[in-house]
Amino acid sequence: ALDSIEKAHIWEALLINYQPQNREYRYNFFYDNCATRPAAIITQHLSGELQIPSSTQKISFRDIINDCTRNHPWLTFGCDLALGRPTDQPISYKEKMFLPIYLKEAFGQATVSRTEGSLSKLVQSEHILTDGVTNDFERTTSLFTPLVCSWAFFLFVATITWREWHKRSYYRWLDCLFFLITGIGGCVIFFLCFVSTHPCIWPNWNIIWLHPFHLIAVILFAV
């Protein structure tokens, strides 16, 4: 529910954002993405103050991401490994708008306090452009989930370890395999923590047990 002046200012801001020097930017998944940018443009060019109802529910970025990936256990597992401690901090209602579905929900409930003292809804009406689209994705039915694979790997290592003890032998390849897997995973975590510019990655306490130095053990075991 915007007047002609607000629409003109927003259109001008979009044209500025579309200029060649502004088209490319450092993508920030939580704070500067395809949902936060239009929200910021609209908020900055309203002739009044945008008021969004707050929520008492404490929720974090990780809670939201895990809800989006709930039907894809490997994706959830990867996000939980990669994202650091800041992802677990409670976020505000406005910070939830990094996802379009929460942006739609927030703007649908938002009001604008005009300079002359009036109060009006931000969204006047909604029009569904595409029918048959839902937010629920089909759940992955594969048995090869992170939990199942972890237990299978544990039982495999336990069996080989018992065999080593029973036969009083030593399978060097098992240690090489174990430290190779954790070393490669550690390289990924190290890159995300100290090289990449993604938000909410550091500190990530998984690096205590999942780090590149495991690859040194592979070399030592192999020689």
**Distance (Å, whole) CA 32 – CA 12:** 20
| pLDDT greater at residue 118 or residue 141 | 118
pLDDT in tens, 155-202: 999 999 999 999 999 999 999 999 999 999 999 999 999 999 888 999
Instruction: Report the chain's mean pLDDT, rounded to a whole number.
Output: 90
- Give residue 140's pLDDT band: very low, low, confident or very high (50, 70, 90): low
Region of 157 (left: φ > 0; alpha: ψ -120 to 50; beta: rest) is alpha
134-143, 184-193, 206-215: range with lowest mean pLDDT: 134-143
The identity of residue 120, as a single letter, is S
pLDDT tens for 144-160 read: 999 999 999 999 999 99
If we measure between CA atoms, which residue out of 30, 32, 135 comes closest to residue 83?
30
